[in-house]
Amino acid sequence: MKEGYLPSRILMYIGYSILASFIVVFLVATLIQGDITSDEWYWLFHGLMGFALSLIVVLSFLIFIRKITEVKWLERG
d(CA 60, CA 14): 7
What pLDDT sits at residue 71?
A: 62
Question: Each residue of 46-75: pLDDT tens digit?
Answer: 999 999 999 988 888 887 787 777 765 555
**Model pTM?**
0.69
Q: Are 43 and 25 in contact (CB under 8 A)?
A: no
Q: Which residue has the higher pLDDT, 1 or 60?
A: 60
Cα Dmax for the chain:
61
Question: Each residue of 21-52: pLDDT tens digit?
Answer: 999 999 999 999 888 888 999 999 999 999 99
Instruction: Give the start-to-end residue ranges of the domains of the chain.
Output: 7-67
